[in-house]
């Protein structure tokens, strides 16, 4: 019961806080890699000038995919979470909460959205692999893992 309350509270808090600070574009979810992040990757891989140009094109596609994810799946999730948060009735000494199935569905939707961020990141790294030599391929996997760990923090 306590875990359910924690999940409900976290979802409602995410919905309310996020709606009030859209300038940060869904701060409770993964943020896209920055130009500086990509620059560091290029330096770590010791990319040639031609490879750096190619990575910039991939980065533009990455940003487009990230924006589509935020404007689609993430926005839909946040709207649904906000709707659920508004269903709570805190006044009068009683708390009315949505059915457990709705809460479970919302949590599963959140997890799916988080996995979608990983898919966007993985597509970026996958697009780079044909451009790289053997030594760079090893390093790109290290960068991919670093980004995956960054998504978790």
pLDDT in tens, 33-82: 999 999 999 999 999 999 999 999 999 999 999 999 999 999 999 999 88
The residue with greater pLDDT, 87 or 130, is: 130
- pTM score of the predicted model: 0.74
Confidence (pLDDT) at 88: 72
Q: What is the mean pLDDT of the chain?
A: 81
Produce one character per residue of 112-138: b if its CB has 16 or more CB atoms within 10 Å, e if not: ebbebbeebbeebbebbeebbeeebee
**C-alpha to C-alpha distance for 128 and 122, rounded to whole angstroms:** 10
The span from the CA of 107 to the CA of 47, in Å, is 40
Tokens of 38: 């990509």
- Cα dihedral angle (42, 33, 58, 53), rounded to 10 degrees? -40
């Amino acid at each position: 019961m306590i875990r359910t309350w924690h999940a409900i509270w976290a979802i409602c808090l995410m919905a309310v806080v996020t709606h009030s600070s859209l300038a940060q574009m869904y701060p409770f979810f993964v943020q896209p890699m920055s130009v500086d992040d990509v620059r560091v990757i290029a330096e770590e891989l010791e990319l040639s000038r031609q490879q750096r140009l190619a990575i910039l094109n991939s980065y533009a596609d990455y940003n487009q995919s990230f924006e589509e994810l935020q404007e689609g799946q993430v926005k839909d999730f946040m709207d649904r979470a906000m709707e659920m948060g508004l269903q709570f009735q805190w006044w009068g000494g009683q708390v009315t909460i949505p059915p457990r199935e709705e809460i479970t569905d919302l949590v599963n939707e959140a997890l799916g959205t988080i996995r979608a961020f990983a898919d966007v990141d993985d597509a970026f790294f996958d697009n780079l692999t044909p451009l790289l030599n053997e030594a760079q391929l090893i390093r790109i996997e290290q960068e991919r893992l670093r980004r995956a760990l960054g998504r978790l923090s």
